């Protein structure tokens, strides 16, 4: 996601050295984190009506497989960690549980469950509890809701209520990658959820920003994911590294309780943590403008503007999210995992269609993006 990589051995060896001299000069200026051993100025916000105090920069664990990164986040004071039952086929939750053994009362854990029948959902929650080595989950969210009807489903809400009454879950909510604005507006009306994990970054429209504000006013705790807009690396962007600027942009919105950037290295979590308590500078704005130009035609912002345009009913945003994992994150494993959630029928339909009738309002070449997915599937 962010620029630079640092393994555990290298980190331990260089613990006493100044943190990223050239990187600090480029981004941090007078920011408080100037040495690896010095902690950032922690900033907390309240996670909506839950009342939980969370660090504004928290951690998305999805892509991380190194416990040293989680321990460094903990040492920096970060207290909220987002994982899921399906990440790394359960190994992600296992790592979180093992890493924070003996520290459970000092952290907050958010994990996820898929909407299935009650027996399967209950089994999923029990597995998560075992993997996380805990007897309760701080925040349990439905994984990837996409329609207003889902966030108002009383059947799902009844199950979450049971989990709360049994003491297995403290607070509940949902995650969403597409149609975010419409889902948040519905949630603000229904008042069924405590938390929403939402794809939210500087590329998104004013409509989403307004929906976030409305949901926050209703008491919903907003957790921002996909804050880095694709996570493209510095080398691919010809030296541009706007990731702190992107994170600052999200946190400038006071309706956001916290952000969970998906980090994989110690250097990345330090870089993210340094953003707490800082503001967006003119230089940051210029960096984001350059990043916007780089991203134009590359990523889907999941705005939902093309919903319903495909005559075959293919959800293009799911295919395009897979492209982001492949081209932006450069994470083949996550790319393959996301493809498993897409039916082969959809991929074949796209390959057989002579021309794509779906038009992206933001200039994305949808046909070219889907072709990338198809070529990967054929090679596999």
Higher pLDDT, 166 or 372: 166
What is the chain's mean pLDDT, rounded? 82
Task: Indicate the pLDDT class of residue 368, thresholds 50, 70 and 90.
Answer: confident
Q: What's residue 177's pLDDT?
A: 84
Mean pLDDT, rounded, for 283-289: 91
Q: What's residue 376's pLDDT?
A: 67
Q: Measured between alpha carbons, how far is 13 from 28 in angstroms, rounded to an integer?
A: 23
Mean pLDDT, rounded, for 52-78: 97
Mean pLDDT, rounded, for 164-175: 97
Task: Outline where the chain has alpha helix (H).
Answer: 8-13, 21-23, 67-76, 91-99, 118-132, 148-151, 154-165, 180-190, 206-217, 243-251, 266-273, 282-295, 316-323, 332-339, 344-352, 366-379
Higher pLDDT, 177 or 142: 142
Q: Give how far the C-alpha of residue 64 lies from the chain's centroid of Cα atoms, to the nearest Å.
A: 12
Residue 149 near residue 174, CB atoms below 8 Å: no
Q: What's residue 327's pLDDT?
A: 67
Q: How many CA atoms lie within 13 A of 296 on its CB side?
A: 8
Rounded to two decimals, what is the model's pTM?
0.78
CATH of domain 8-293: 3.20.20.100
Domain residue ranges in the chain: 8-293, 316-379
- Which one of 236-245, 267-276, 335-344 scores highest in mean pLDDT? 267-276
| 20 secondary structure, DSSP code | -
Got the DSSP string for 185-213?
Answer: HHHHHH---SEEEEE--TTS-HHHHHHHH
Res 151 pLDDT > 70: yes
% of residues, the chain, pLDDT over 70:
72
Residue 59 near residue 82, CB atoms below 8 Å: yes
Mean pLDDT, rounded, for 272-281: 93
Higher pLDDT, 241 or 228: 228
Query: Which secondary-structure segment (H or E) carries 137?
Result: strand 137-145
Q: What's residue 23's pLDDT?
A: 30
Res 102 pLDDT > 90: yes
């Amino acid at each position: 996601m962010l620029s630079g990589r640092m393994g555990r051995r290298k980190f331990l060896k260089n613990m006493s050295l100044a943190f990223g001299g050239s990187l600090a000069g480029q981004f941090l200026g007078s920011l408080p984190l100037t040495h690896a051993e010095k902690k950032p100025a922690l900033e907390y916000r309240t996670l909506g009506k839950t009342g939980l105090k969370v660090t504004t920069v928290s951690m998305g664990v999805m892509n991380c497989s190194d416990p040293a990164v989680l321990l460094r986040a903990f040492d920096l004071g970060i207290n909220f960690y987002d994982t899921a039952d399906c990440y790394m086929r359960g190994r992600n939750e296992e790592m979180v549980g093992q890493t924070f053994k003996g520290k459970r009362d000092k952290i907050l854990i958010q994990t996820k469950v898929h909407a299935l029948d009650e027996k399967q959902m209950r089994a999923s929650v029990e597995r998560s509890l075992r993997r996380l080595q805990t007897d309760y989950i701080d925040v349990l969210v439905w994984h990837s809701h996409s329609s207003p009807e889902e966030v108002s489903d009383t059947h799902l809400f009844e199950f979450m209520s049971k989990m709360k009454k049994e003491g297995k879950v403290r607070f509940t909510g949902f995650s969403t990658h597409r149609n975010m604005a419409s889902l948040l507006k519905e949630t603000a009306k229904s008042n069924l959820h405590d938390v929403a994990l939402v794809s939210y970054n500087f590329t998104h429209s004013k409509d989403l920003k307004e929906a976030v504000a409305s949901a926050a006013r209703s008491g919903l705790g907003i957790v921002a994911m996909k804050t880095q807009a694709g996570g493209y690396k510095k080398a691919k962007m010809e030296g541009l590294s706007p990731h702190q600027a992107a994170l600052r942009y999200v946190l400038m919105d006071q309706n956001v309780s916290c952000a969970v950037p998906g980090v994989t290295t110690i250097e990345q979590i330090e870089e993210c943590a340094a953003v707490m308590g800082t503001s967006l500078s003119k230089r940051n704005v210029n960096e984001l403008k350059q990043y916007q130009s780089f991203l134009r035609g590359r990523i889907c912002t999941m705005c939902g503007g093309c919903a319903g345009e495909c005559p075959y009913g293919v959800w293009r945003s799911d295919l395009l999210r897979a492209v982001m994992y492949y081209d932006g994150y450069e994470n083949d494993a996550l790319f393959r995992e996301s493809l498993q959630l897409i039916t082969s029928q959809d991929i074949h339909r796209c390959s057989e269609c002579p021309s794509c009738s779906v038009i992206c309002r933001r200039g994305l070449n949808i046909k070219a993006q889907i072709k990338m997915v198809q070529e990967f599937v054929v090679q596999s």
